[in-house]
Homo-oligomer: A and B are copies of this chain.
């Protein structure tokens, strides 16, 4: 039986004797191993969560910045008012941006020389907290300072910083980030807008050649923007140098378009209606040569093009890469919205009662129903994983943009991380907001309880700043490249082992017997299986192995693609697209799991550590359960062990139930942030009032007799 490579490692880890428990979890480890009944919260030996300490940990690296930002979002004037018309909402959000400026809250990322703080991580941390006040405020701020301003900062040079940034920072010049066109969103390299250099007048001439090349979906374009950073193909001396960014005034002081510029309002959207998204088009719009944001490509007076980056492809991706912060902040904001949703739904679920099960008098608290727990607690585990992963992501971002670790590799890693995490967290937010809304029933559908509004606003997070599916495909391509490089540099032995593994895999797939039987044979009892599954090394190996195996499988199928005709190669790649995107998702989930596990290691309170361990296990085993068929088909789990996964998840959920409120309280959002009447305690008041009414009625002796009781007595 030949067995090397990925599966060999997983098998080793799975069969290795369980490691010693870590020091921090030792005191409660015993409880975790037993297979007896789950202990109740009232049990004095049950672990307790140190909510304050955990809360501090969840705030992450920029805890103080976040706390200060939450004071801002706690102010009514910064918050969304439900039911405003689109026009009123737009004006209100513009006013809120002015308040942010007035209170000095938007300059953190800008250079110290211009009154900023050169604090990139802190800037994002503060900015993403705005989502709890109003996602429109978060995104419109993002358009102004995170896209329009950041493009001038990162793609421009000293002249642009001195000339344009002060107006941008002060909001004297609201601006649009004019990259996307009606015809091209994901494929920015193919936009149609042109900027042709005219050496006679030392100007660029901006043109929109056809309807599909109209700039579209641009915040600030419909109403408030007076300038825009316009992405266009730079053409000089008859050569198209690809996409570059240009600073272009678009409106005059009276609010009308300048000559040659036209546009439309995108009108009502599914959400984010506090932002004036619109379209722009350009007809022979002339701008000075100096308005080219020339950090990565310049044109001199006579029209000669120069660039510090020789490769047009690398230059393009370097330029786009400077704008990664949008994805970073969406990951954080989506995670914050998920936390808010769970705080609301779990608070309500802990107070709301419906149906009697074990008593004629007391109705059950709905979070005590297994299904309700299954709906909310795994999503809570994912939100925790994302919280830890996001903080690490932000630290990485800060290191790159603050210059502490800013190599090409660092930037590529950051972009891959962004492309991996943003899709998962934005989809998770939509899923969690929806489940929370349904878990609150009709009350969840009322705008006053926030869940529907947040979901409507966050909907577009899944497709803007990079369509989630396209981003995951980017991740997959990076994984494929890494994989082929690994073998390009590997010695012959590594390659041989790989080939042998592949052959073994093929043999296995042909008979479906040997490996599976071997795996099955070694598990004697459910308790043993559960012990193995609880071991983080097992979880890590299961998750890692799946990513590696999926990528290896696709790589093997695509190995000869380069030798094929272009159409055939494209079809071959396309036939693997779904698998590749699923592999990228698995990779991103592994990153989240790793971050959760590191966060767990930093938790020093024994009770908190125990509860977080259950939560991390729920996250990890939840991922395994979701892909259980893969593990079974590929012989990584026996049927018996697969059943242990689900059984242990049921157990973890029951264990976590008593800690659910603590875990959402630790997110640290106050009533001013929640602003959801159903999470304010009114439901508990109503339940108490009703129960007291019935208690008094029973005590009074005047209660009507139940017909059921009468007929029951007769029979």
Contact = CB atoms under 8 A, between A and B. Distances in A.
Interface of A: 82-83, 85-86, 180, 182-187, 190, 192, 209-213, 216-217, 235, 238-242, 266-271, 305, 310-313, 354-359, 363, 368-371, 374-375, 430, 434, 437-438, 441-448, 451-453, 455-456, 459-460, 462-464, 467-469, 473, 509-513, 516-517, 520, 523, 566-567, 569-571, 573-578, 581, 625, 628-629, 632-635, 638-640, 642-643, 650, 685-687, 689-690, 693, 704-708, 710-711
16 contacts: A185-B441, A185-B442, A239-B706, A239-B710, A267-B446, A271-B452, A370-B576, A371-B469, A371-B577, A430-B434, A438-B467, A442-B463, A445-B463, A516-B516, A625-B629, A635-B639
Contacts of A638: 512
A136 to B, nearest CB: 13
Copies per complex of this chain: 2
A354 B693 contact: no
Contacts of A355: 186-187, 190
Contact of A212 (B242, B444, B511, B690): B690
Contacts of A459: 434, 437, 445, 452
Contact of A240 (B363, B453, B581, B706): B706
Nearest to A186: B354
B210 A686 contact: yes
Contact of A574 (B363, B370, B447, B706): B370
A477 to B, nearest CB: 12
A473 B437 CA distance: 19
A689 B371 CA distance: 53
Contact of A686 (B211, B241, B467, B571): B211
Given A238-B704, A312-B711, A374-B578, 16 more contacts: A182-B443, A185-B442, A210-B693, A217-B442, A266-B446, A269-B446, A269-B452, A270-B447, A358-B570, A359-B566, A370-B576, A375-B469, A430-B434, A442-B464, A516-B520, A632-B642
Contacts of A455: 270
Contacts of A184: 354
Given A211-B686, A708-B242, A357 B442 contact: no
Contact of A371 (B241, B312, B441, B581): B581
Contacts of A183: 686-687, 690
Contacts of A354: 184-187
Contacts of A268: 82-83, 446-448
A509 B638 CA distance: 11
A566 to B, nearest CB: 5
A704 B190 CA distance: 14
B689 A211 contact: yes
Contact of A704 (B240, B634, B710): B240
B312 A209 contact: no
A711 B460 contact: no
A292 to B, nearest CB: 15
A469 B190 CA distance: 47
A438 B82 CA distance: 25
A89 B324 CA distance: 41
A267 B83 contact: yes
Contact of A463 (B210, B211, B441, B625): B441
A216 B442 contact: yes
Contacts of A211: 685-686, 689-690
Nearest to A192: B690
B241 A448 contact: no
A231 to B, nearest CB: 16
A186 to B, nearest CB: 6
Nearest to A576: B370
B445 A369 contact: no
A452 B456 contact: yes
A449 to B, nearest CB: 9
A30 to B, nearest CB: 23
A395 to B, nearest CB: 30
A412 to B, nearest CB: 20
